[in-house]
Amino acid sequence: MKERARRKAQRPGEILEAAFDAFAERGFAATRMEDIAARAGVTKGAIYCYFETKERLFEEMVDHFSQDILSDAGAMLAAAQGSCAEKLKAYLVYMYCRCARDRYGREMIRFMVSDGKSFPQLVEHHYRDFFAPAMRMVSDLLAAGIASGEFRPEIAKHGAEIVVAPSVFLTLMRLIFDQSLEIDDEAYIAAHADLLLNGLLTPAARENLLAGKTCGGGLAPI
């Protein structure tokens, strides 16, 4: 009985995983509930016990995987040590890993682009509960850097979108060109961080960096 209860508790997650694979492969319109059921190893009726429509399943799937990315980002920042610049760099590396490289993150963006018009409420929900909080994390880091004297206020005040734009670009290029895209991810990320932080840092913070000193907690040279 305990094993049966455990399997039943795991089933919604298994269905969401199967739905992700099916929607990523075929898109929303071409995916049938039968396809998802076959991948999950359940009957179509079993899916309807948890998700009343294909639309609802799609929405729950997007929300499930998006919130995983967001909660992990929050945990990473909460545990991060050092200066605001170091934390911002760590956030950038994390978002590259979870969006440009990680299949789940990339496909969340594809779903928004390809199927968003069919799900205006989902897009609104995704913006409110994922994109806006993710951008607030960046804005909060920039504000903290201004307060500590690390970041130039005239650059950082409205810079959250500029901070994340190169990672969105690389994610889109990966979605479009996949393996044909000849970009060294490590070099790309390093160049982004270098340009960004050298633009954000105050003259004093930059001098400390060039001198090998710490910057409000210890920014290692890039």
pLDDT tens, N- to C-terminus, the chain (222 residues): 555 554 556 789 999 999 999 999 988 889 999 999 999 999 999 999 999 999 999 999 999 988 888 899 999 999 988 889 889 989 998 888 887 778 888 888 888 888 888 888 888 888 898 899 999 999 999 999 999 899 988 877 778 888 989 988 888 888 888 778 888 888 999 899 888 888 888 877 777 766 654 433 333 433
- The residue whose two tokens read 């170091």 is 86
- Closest among 190, 191, 17, 185 to 100, alpha carbons compared: 185
Collapsed DSSP state (helix, strand, coil) of residue 214 = coil
- Contacts of residue 220, defined as CB under 8 A and 6 or more positions apart, other chains included, come to 86
> Residues spanned by CATH 1.10.10.60 within the chain?
1-52
Give the fold, CATH level 3, of 1-52.
Arc Repressor Mutant, subunit A (1.10.10)
- Closest among 102, 111, 118, 109 to 23, alpha carbons compared: 111
Question: Rounded to a whole number, what is the distance in angstroms from the first to the last CA of the chain?
Answer: 56
- Within 10 Å of residue 82's Cβ, how many Cβ atoms? 16
Give the CATH H-level superfamily of domain 58-210: Tetracycline Repressor, domain 2 (1.10.357.10)
> Residues spanned by CATH 1.10.357.10 within the chain?
58-210
- Closest among 150, 104, 119 to 29, alpha carbons compared: 119
